[in-house]
Amino acid sequence: MNLRLLLALLCVGLFSCEGKKEIQLPKATFSVLSEVQDHSPIYFFFAKKGKDTVVEVNRKNSISSTNWIFSIDKRLPLRLVIPQIQILQAKKASSAHKSETAQNYFAYANDSLQTLAFTPFTNVVYSSSKTALQPNFVKIEVTKNGNLLFDSKPCSIQEIKALVLHSAQKIQLSFDASMNFETYLRTKLMLEKVCPNLLSDTQWIN
């Protein structure tokens, strides 16, 4: 394993409030960004409480005037991750010390280059409400396993791209709340790569 990635992943595990926890970062095959300056780390740890999966969040180092890097264990389900992200988004937005240029990023591992990578999600709004579909958007559902559905029928990313380009519409994503974070992030990255500027900032988690 690349030494830089190994050291970075060790930092993710060691710089927790208890000093002994580890995070298994999601993996993808390409990098959106390879470096983020002036950042605060936020860790989402995977844990077990009896038979239940729980998330433990270390947010003590979250300085509102900096970029925030979210290192989230890939095994955690969205139903646990998203409420915590929403809390932190609200905290930053309401801070008197926030910077208008500071961004939020997800950290992941570029499995091809064996390096750390980052992708922004500053403008993403997560919603669990059963609201009506936004005008001029097509709804794409993402199953627990990362399969894409349009009108409850399987479809490929290329088919989705052709559909929205032909209809001059954009994409409204609805994710299964039980999917793990790695499946979510991989799907998000691929859709953003293949369909740039076509995704709604609002994502449903159901």
pLDDT in tens, 60-85: 878 999 999 999 999 999 999 999 99
Q: 26-30, 60-64, 76-80, 172-176: which range is least confident on average?
A: 60-64
Residue with tokens 């998000």: 188
What is the pTM (predicted TM-score) of this model?
Answer: 0.89
The 3-state DSSP class for residue 27 equals strand
Residue 166 has pLDDT above 90, yes or no: no
Q: 10-24, 66-80, 107-121: which range is least confident on average?
A: 10-24
pLDDT category of residue 2 using cuts at 50, 70 and 90: very low
> What is the number of other CB atoms lying within 10 angstroms of the CB of residue 197?
6
Q: 140 Cβ partners below 8 Å, 6+ apart?
A: 148, 149, 150, 155, 160, 171, 172, 173, 174
Residue with tokens 């860790």: 43
